Structure formats: structure tokens, C-alpha cells
């Protein structure tokens, strides 16, 4: 019996030694093993019935990525530790077929899908033929220049969202409908040209939620409490201002009838009107 007990003890020691060795051979980039974010799913949202909505308003917002609160959407400009920027993530989704890009030149109703080549063209990254000087011969010659998508030029995002009052739970709620990157660039053919802005493409947000939920956003305050891109939008962890609301004048932009300080005040007025709608329903 003693020999059996000794043999069992030796076997257990060998098994534990192998386990320790295999555990120590695993490389963990940090103090603990982090869960695989690619397996995360978007937070489920409650179903909304048309019969329960007795008021709604469609608004368009601008998220400026140069604002400090919005910088996690812009950085990192190159992938770092599994993190990526929102422009790069949306473009990757289009390239892999997970997302469908829609034309942003005419409307935002997600009616006209774009191919990857058309997305590059919308970025101004199409292949061009230019006349350049050959420094060896001194003569002008035609040269084909491959276009390049410059994601660092995406400095803003436009968000299309609908605010609605749900009488089922007596709450004012909001759903993001679409998201559109806005590119800022200079015209190369014009010297000292002013900054040009253009909407590149629209993404239908409900379609993008699964991809956004599987990628984390950098948290400047705590590395162990990072949220996904979807969490950031659903929980409204961004700063923005309204540039358009649904109106009888063909949904015109605020900039079409007001400028400067007056446009800012108009944006605030629309924001307060939406907020006060819910407050005015109650008596205190």
C-alpha cells in the first residue's frame, strides 16, 4: 500500500509540474488574461411598436473628432494592441462585405449601395492620369497615379437619429439610424485652397452594430474598463451638435438659413425643444 501511495504521489507531482510548465508557457500581454472582444454581441434593444409612438423627430448631428471627448473615435490612426479607429473599422467592414456603404451625395435614405471602387472614388482615391515632368529628360509625360484612401482626413461624423416618445414606458428615447464619415481635404489643383468637406458614404447603423460591438474603444482613464464602439453610441459617450432637423423646407440644414453664432443658438434651441417635450408632459 505504501508503494502505491508513493507512486500516486509521484504521478500527481509530475502532472502538477507539467500543468505549471504549460501555464507558464502561455504568453499573456499584461497581468491577466482578457476576454476575446470579437465574441461580444451588441446590447439588445427593446422592440418599438408604431402604435406606441405618438411623437417623433428626426435630427442630424455632427461629431467632431478633434474634440477631446471624441478622440477615441479617431485614434489610433494605426492599429495598436487590437484597437482601431472608427473610420478604419467601417472601411474594413465594407472591404470584407460585413457592411454596405450607401451613396451620401443625394440622400440619406440608404437606397443606393456603393461598390468598394465607388467608395474609393467618394474618398477621392480613384486612379488618375497626370502630366508630370520627367527630371531625367526634362520633358512632360503622362503618368498613372494610384489613389490612396486617407482615413486621417476623416475629421467628423454625421449621425442621423430619431427621437421618439414611447407611451408604453412613458419615456423619451433615441435610436441612431445611420452614420456618415465626413472628409476634410484641400484641392491639390488650387493653391491656398480653403478646407473642403464632403460626406463620403452612409452606413445603416443597425447593420453595423454587430461589428461595432466586437471592437473596443480606448478608455483614457482605465484600461480594464473599455467599452465597445456600440456601447459608446448607445450610451451617448460622445459630444455633438445638431445641424439639421426634419422640416417642411426639404429638411434644409441650419447653415442654409443661419450662420455663426445664430446657427449655434438654433442648434441649442432644437436640442432644448426635444428635451422640453418630455418635461412638459408632466406636472410638478
124, part of any domain: yes
Res. 69: pLDDT tops 60: yes
145, part of any domain: yes
225, part of any domain: yes
pTM: 0.81
State the pLDDT at residue 62.
98
What's the burial of 246, exposed, middle or buried (CB within 10 Å: 0-12/13-18/19+)? exposed
269, part of any domain: yes
State the pLDDT at residue 64.
97
pLDDT digits (tens, 9 = 90+) for 143-163: 655 678 889 999 999 999 999
129, part of any domain: yes
State the pLDDT at residue 29.
60
| Buried residues in 120-152 as b, exposed as e (16+ CB within 10 A) | bebbbeeeeeeeeeeeeeeeeeeeeeeeebebe
178, part of any domain: yes
Residue 69 belongs to what domain range? Answer: 34-279
Mean confidence (pLDDT) of the chain: 85
205, part of any domain: yes
Res. 238: pLDDT tops 70: yes
Q: Which range has the worst mean pLDDT, 23-37, 144-158, 201-215, 254-268?
A: 23-37
Q: Which long-range contacts (CB under 8 A, 24 or more apart) does 186-192 make?
A: none
pLDDT digits (tens, 9 = 90+) for 204-226: 999 999 999 999 998 888 887 88
State the pLDDT at residue 78.
87
Tally of structural domains, the chain: 1
Res. 129: pLDDT tops 70: no
Place of cell 503618368: 143
125, part of any domain: yes
Amino acid at each position: 500500500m505504501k508503494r502505491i501511495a508513493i507512486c500516486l504521489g509521484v504521478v500527481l507531482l509530475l502532472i502538477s509540474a507539467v500543468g505549471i510548465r504549460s501555464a507558464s508557457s502561455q504568453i499573456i500581454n499584461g497581468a491577466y488574461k482578457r476576454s476575446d472582444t470579437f465574441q461580444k454581441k451588441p446590447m439588445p434593444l427593446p422592440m418599438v411598436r408604431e402604435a406606441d409612438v405618438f411623437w417623433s423627430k428626426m435630427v442630424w448631428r455632427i461629431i467632431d473628432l478633434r474634440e477631446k471627448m471624441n478622440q477615441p473615435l479617431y485614434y489610433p490612426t494605426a492599429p495598436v494592441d487590437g484597437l482601431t479607429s472608427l473610420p478604419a473599422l467601417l472601411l474594413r467592414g465594407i472591404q470584407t462585405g460585413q457592411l454596405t456603404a450607401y451613396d451620401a451625395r443625394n440622400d440619406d435614405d440608404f437606397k443606393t449601395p456603393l461598390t468598394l471602387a465607388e467608395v474609393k472614388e467618394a474618398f477621392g482615391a480613384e486612379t488618375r492620369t497626370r502630366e508630370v515632368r520627367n527630371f531625367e529628360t526634362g520633358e512632360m509625360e503622362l503618368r498613372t497615379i494610384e489613389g490612396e484612401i486617407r482615413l486621417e482626413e476623416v475629421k467628423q461624423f454625421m449621425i442621423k437619429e430619431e427621437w421618439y416618445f414611447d407611451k408604453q414606458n412613458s419615456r423619451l428615447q433615441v435610436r441612431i439610424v445611420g452614420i456618415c464619415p465626413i472628409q476634410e481635404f484641400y484641392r491639390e489643383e488650387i493653391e491656398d485652397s480653403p478646407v473642403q468637406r464632403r460626406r463620403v458614404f452612409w452606413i445603416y447603423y443597425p447593420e453595423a452594430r454587430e461589428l461595432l460591438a466586437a471592437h473596443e474603444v480606448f478608455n483614457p482613464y482605465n484600461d480594464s474598463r473599455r467599452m465597445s464602439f456600440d456601447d459608446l453610441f448607445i450610451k451617448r459617450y460622445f459630444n455633438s451638435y445638431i445641424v439639421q432637423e426634419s422640416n417642411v423646407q426639404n429638411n434644409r440644414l441650419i447653415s442654409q438659413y443661419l450662420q455663426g453664432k445664430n446657427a449655434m443658438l438654433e442648434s441649442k434651441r432644437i436640442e432644448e425643444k426635444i428635451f422640453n417635450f418630455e418635461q412638459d408632459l408632466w406636472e410638478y
